[in-house]
Amino acid sequence: MALGSLGIRLLPVSSPPNSSEISLPFTSRRAIVFAPTALMASLLAFPVPSFAALPQLQDEVPQEEDRIVGLFQETSPSVVYIKNLEIAKKPQNPSEEAMLIEDDENAKVKGTGSGFIWDKFGHIVTNYHVVSALATDNSGLQRCKVNLVDVEGNGISRDAKVVGFDPEYDLAVLKVELQGHELKPIVFGTSRSLRVGQSCYAIGNPFGYEKTLTAGVISGLGREIPSPNGRAIRGAIQTDAAISAGNSGGPLVDLYGHVIGVNTATFTRKGTGMSSGVNFAIPIDTVVRTVPYLIAEPTPLQDLRPHCNSIIEATIDEMQREEFGDCVFV
């Protein structure tokens, strides 16, 4: 590929003169004789870098890495792994139901997602589209299992129930019973003071890989993305932190590990289904306003709007379609 086609312009290069062509006037001979002395004086006057300062500069990289490692270690215990299961037959009694849930051979994994611990009472926040199959289930065949850890670091797997949900904001609340275990709720930040360019980190379970950390920056604010019912979610956070299938419902956190958003969607490259690196999160201020109502007043089934898969057919800006393709939930 020609460099000119890339918009790169090369500066002309001058050829060095041939030594035989150099003619020096007689008056410059004195300067030439004393040039080494002058050169040495100029070198001595030039400040020499202190090599003792190099280790200090090198230490900044490990300190930055240690900060990110500490952020992950502090925040990841509050992130959960959600598996949507479909059992082969409807249980006839509670004991059979418990057996079917624990026996993975009797259930198919229909999808996975992420979430985070809201409080010490076992409430978990995630995206509505992650648990929509269970929220709209009339067959009794849908189940939701959550993998999480307690404050002691003990791994726990429990069946979860949907407490409430709001398709308009793509939010849902699950509840797990964990008698004898203490949970670590996530630390909340705020989204109203965010700035484009500041660092952010996504923690979730992309493609089933539990507790995965990706880093990026806030790429834009005040974005508008479709919700599961086809309406618009306004004020979304745009980020280039990698978000893939299975990240949905997980937290987007700031430099201090405070959650600033709920990872939700990504633009895919047209015709490929591949992420374009343009990803979106629901701002935490919206989440904090919505979730308490979902816990206090469970959503009745008759209030449901169309299933989240309608997002694929949702009408979005034609220019965005030409460049990116579809805005899809992850």
User: Which residues does the annotation mark as catalytic?
Assistant: 129, 170, 248
CB atoms within 10 A of CB 125: 27
Give the span between the Cα atoms of 202 and 149, in whole angstroms.
18
Distances (CA, A) of 117 to 44, 91, 126, 158, 176: 63, 29, 9, 14, 10
Choose among 50, 109, 120, 108: nearest CA to 82. Answer: 109
